[in-house]
Structure 1
Amino acid sequence: MNNIKEVDVLIIGAGPAGSIAAREASKNGVKTLIIDKKSEIGTPKRCGEGIMDGVLEKVGIEPDERWIARHIDGARLVAPDNTSAWFTSENLETPSTGIILERKVFDKHVTMDAIRNGAEVMLKTEATSITRKDNYLLVDIISFNQKYNQIKAKIVIGADGPEGRVGSWMGLNTKVPLSEMESGAQYEMTNLKMEKNDTIEFYFGSVAPGGYAWIFPKGYDTANVGIDVSGVKGEKTALEYLDDFIANNEETKDGQIVEVNVGGNPLCGVFDKIIADNFMLVGDAAGCVSPITGGGIDTGLESGMIAGQIAAKAIKEDNLSEENLQEYADYVDENIGKKFKKLITVRDFIYNLEDEDMNEYIGAIANANITKLSTKALLKAMIKVSPRKLLKLRKLL
């Protein structure tokens, strides 16, 4: 005999996107459940943990020093020949500041906020399949306490990350081409000798074929040190490239590893279809990942917030059709998808540059009088080096 739990909204995945969707659905008066196959929310982090200032306020999260590892003052772009372009409060009229999160604490905070607004959470609970029944979805689960083996939901929100399966169960094409899937590896390290331990650093060129390496400070001598490499351009594994980077970088070569994280990172942009009857995808599962940086906390939170609101609205209207959920897909396309399509053009240009060209372009950026850090400002500096070569990118200005 099946033990079935009935809810209005079921969210599969307790990351930031899923949890904020639960917060919004619950506070709008619908019965909401989050399930997650892990035993601890926030682990493994698989993330550089950085976000720009203003992101949290936009989605109604008040910053809390308990989960802020480091306040960041700008960025450093590093060429293969070690030429550096610095963008900090020392040379920017408009500061480009942000924070490095402690995701193990932050993710729990967002989930707890959902709980305080009425959501329920079940950990060590894995969804194994979805079946459509009349006007609802029936989700088979395996749960450690074995109290339920199925969940009946009016709407299911897939928030199961970049390698999620839920979307494909619902007939959506969420397969990422190998050419647009990055292999990622990251260490949290200590005993580093960072030139500025409040500035995030990006390293480009053959050090990370088809991607980049990074150092995101979390303390005076501690940082997330990671790398993303193309699934088709790299000749070694991401871990091998990362180890080589660390061994040859003055800031990291004497450091020690205290945590290891690996995984895939889709850079394809938002998927063509992220909704179906009774169903929505959010965050990384929807492709809400920057095609240039691979970052997705900000767009994950934004997509999750809107999905939770629209799910609650659809349930109150008793209209769970794809047509009625189109409002969510339209929002994501207008506010996230269109921007990402432009960034794909930039990505394809930058990540195909030879080291010599990369040296020239970052050198131009370093010598340009950039007072506000933005993709447009960087492109303008690069175009001055080679207007003809960058003709395609001029359209993005």
Structure 2
Amino acid sequence: MKQMKCDAVVVGAGPAGSMTAKWAAMGGVDVIMIEKRQEIGSPIRCGEGISKAWLEEVGIEVDPKWIARDIKGAKLVSPSGFTYFVDEKNAGNEVGWVVDRVFFDKALARDAAKAGVKIMLKTAATGLIWKDGQIAGVKAISNGEEIEILADAVIGADGFESQIARWAGIDTSLKANDILTCFQYRLTNIEYDHDYCEFVLGSAAPGGYVWVFPKTEDTANVGLGILTPLIKNSGDPKAYLDKFIAETPGLQNGQPLESVAGAVSVCAPLDSVSMDHLMLVGDAARQIDPITGGGISNSCVAGMFAGKALAKAKETNDYTMNVFQEYEDNWRDRLENKLWRNWMAKEKLVTLDDSILDTLIKSISEVGVEKLSVRNLLAIVKQTHPELVKEFEDLI
């Protein structure tokens, strides 16, 4: 069997994997990044919206090639149509772009390659290699050939269905109430407000929301996520989306260019995503925003921290939790409180009926916020309907 050796093997070439690999390689780590698909960035399993605020920090240079639409802001829409507009005045760099993930993900992988990362496509991990009770690499099938990649560290950046986590014995299992089942069209021949990303709350998507993310003046990603326990039949997400499109002026004549289905974790932060010789990053580590289901920015920030931890491990020749605890500390300091707050808000949000959601969006639009964030929106809810946030008011 063919064997390869490196300091670290990254499983998965999405944003989390590429960012981890790049920052590790910049720190002198010999990195191999494997991707089971034949093309990085495809198929798309995302609404493709990002903010601008975090890009410079993680070293992503803006490239017009991956910007599909420069967005003025967002619209939060209640079930009856009450609308709260968010723009740069109250969101700043949190307003951003709808990107083309095919080009965006490739750009991140290109940056990793420039830093010295070896990329292997059509290479699927099939198991972990263990030596003397410690993780020592991954087994894989690369273009039909069984191989072993020996490494001091394995990075699981293999997404929602992470096998690396399961093989390592890290419990990333999810309760049904912490999973959104999603369905999305790329819809063309539509008439809509293409300067804003739109989020529609309420019974149009039980336990979740409908999104309309502009791609061009007559084309958008139109999708929804439904909380899994509220799905009665497997075809419900598509049926709900078809109903929403049929009942929404401007979308009714839309035609699909592509469709995609998938699941998104909307859980509280995990107790641990690391162990000796292994770290999980991004979707695999459940570092997804429980309110929005968005994970690109969190994945990239966590990936940067993981890459820096790998560089320190290389420098000290210590790939155990003595060093990897730094990754745990850094990503938690940055993300954990927000993830907990947004998870608790999500838990409350899914219990609200359409009439209460109407009242809340109307209240927010009347009061307004100086700077948009889930925390600030909850602060307004606390002012107007304190009973709805009583369980977690100390986090607001």
TM over 0.5: yes
Alpha-carbon contact 2:84-2:361 (below 8 Å) kept:
yes
Shift of residue 255, structure 1, vs aligned partner: 1.0
Matched ranges for 1:306-385 at <5 A = 306-385=305-384
Instruction: Please state whether the residue corresponding to 1:395 is helix, strand or coil.
Output: helix
Q: For residue 225 of structure 1, what is the aligned residue in structure 2?
A: 222
Alpha-carbon contact 2:53-2:94 (below 8 Å) kept:
no
Matched ranges for 1:25-36 at <5 A = 25-36=24-35
Supply the distance in 2 between the matched residues of 1:321 and 1:266 (Cα, whole angstroms): 28
Matched ranges for 1:103-142 at <5 A = 103-134=101-132, 137-142=136-141
Instruction: Please state whether the residue corresponding to 1:388 is helix, strand or coil.
Output: helix
Matched ranges for 1:128-277 at <5 A = 128-134=126-132, 137-144=136-143, 146=145, 149-194=147-192, 196-236=193-233, 237-277=236-276
Gap regions ≥5 residues in structure 2: none
Supply the distance in 2 between the matched residues of 1:392 and 1:297 (Cα, whole angstroms): 29
Gap regions ≥5 residues in structure 1: none
Shift of residue 384, structure 1, vs aligned partner: 3.6
Shift of residue 261, structure 1, vs aligned partner: 1.2
Supply the distance in 2 between the matched residues of 1:202 and 1:378 (Cα, whole angstroms): 15
One-letter identity of the residue aligned with 1:235: K
Alpha-carbon contact 1:73-1:96 (below 8 Å) kept:
no
Per the alignment, do residues 96 and 313 of structure 1 end up closer, same or farther by CA in structure 2, a change over 3 Å counting? closer
Supply the distance in 2 between the matched residues of 1:32 and 1:275 (Cα, whole angstroms): 18
Alpha-carbon contact 2:381-2:388 (below 8 Å) kept:
no
One-letter identity of the residue aligned with 1:363: K
Q: For residue 284 of structure 2, what is the aligned residue in structure 1?
A: 285
Shift of residue 201, structure 1, vs aligned partner: 0.5
One-letter identity of the residue aligned with 1:202: F
Instruction: Please state whether the residue corresponding to 1:206 is helix, strand or coil.
Output: coil
Shift of residue 316, structure 1, vs aligned partner: 2.3
One-letter identity of the residue aligned with 1:30: V
Alpha-carbon contact 1:130-1:137 (below 8 Å) kept:
yes
Q: For residue 54 of structure 1, what is the aligned residue in structure 2?
A: 53
Supply the distance in 2 between the matched residues of 1:374 and 1:16 (Cα, whole angstroms): 23
Instruction: Please state whether the residue corresponding to 1:218 is helix, strand or coil.
Output: strand
Alpha-carbon contact 1:209-1:230 (below 8 Å) kept:
yes
Which stretch shifts more, 76-85 or 34-43? 76-85
Per the alignment, do residues 176 and 221 of structure 1 end up closer, same or farther by CA in structure 2, a change over 3 Å counting? same
Per the alignment, do residues 276 and 69 of structure 1 end up closer, same or farther by CA in structure 2, a change over 3 Å counting? same
One-letter identity of the residue aligned with 2:303: G
Shift of residue 95, structure 1, vs aligned partner: 6.8
Q: CA offsets, 1:244-300, max 9 Å, x none?
A: 111111132211111111111001133221111100000110011001000000000
Instruction: Please state whether the residue corresponding to 2:230 is helix, strand or coil.
Output: coil
Matched, 1:100 2:79: no
Shift of residue 357, structure 1, vs aligned partner: 0.8
One-letter identity of the residue aligned with 1:100: V
Instruction: Please state whether the residue corresponding to 1:216 is helix, strand or coil.
Output: strand
Shift of residue 222, structure 1, vs aligned partner: 1.3
Matched ranges for 1:78-97 at <5 A = 78-89=77-88, 92=90, 94=92, 96-97=94-95
Q: CA offsets, 1:335-362, max 9 Å, x none?
A: 1122201111111111210111111111
Runs of 4+ in 1 over 3 A off after TM superposition: 91-96
Shift of residue 301, structure 1, vs aligned partner: 0.3
Supply the distance in 2 between the matched residues of 1:380 and 1:322 (Cα, whole angstroms): 38
Shift of residue 92, structure 1, vs aligned partner: 4.0
Shift of residue 93, structure 1, vs aligned partner: 8.2
Shift of residue 46, structure 1, vs aligned partner: 0.7
Instruction: Please state whether the residue corresponding to 2:81 is helix, strand or coil.
Output: coil
Instruction: Please state whether the residue corresponding to 1:150 is helix, strand or coil.
Output: strand
One-letter identity of the residue aligned with 2:292: T
Supply the distance in 2 between the matched residues of 1:204 and 1:335 (Cα, whole angstroms): 28
Supply the distance in 2 between the matched residues of 1:338 and 1:23 (Cα, whole angstroms): 27
TM-score normalised by length of structure 1: 0.95
Supply the distance in 2 between the matched residues of 1:55 and 1:153 (Cα, whole angstroms): 30
Alpha-carbon contact 1:154-1:315 (below 8 Å) kept:
no
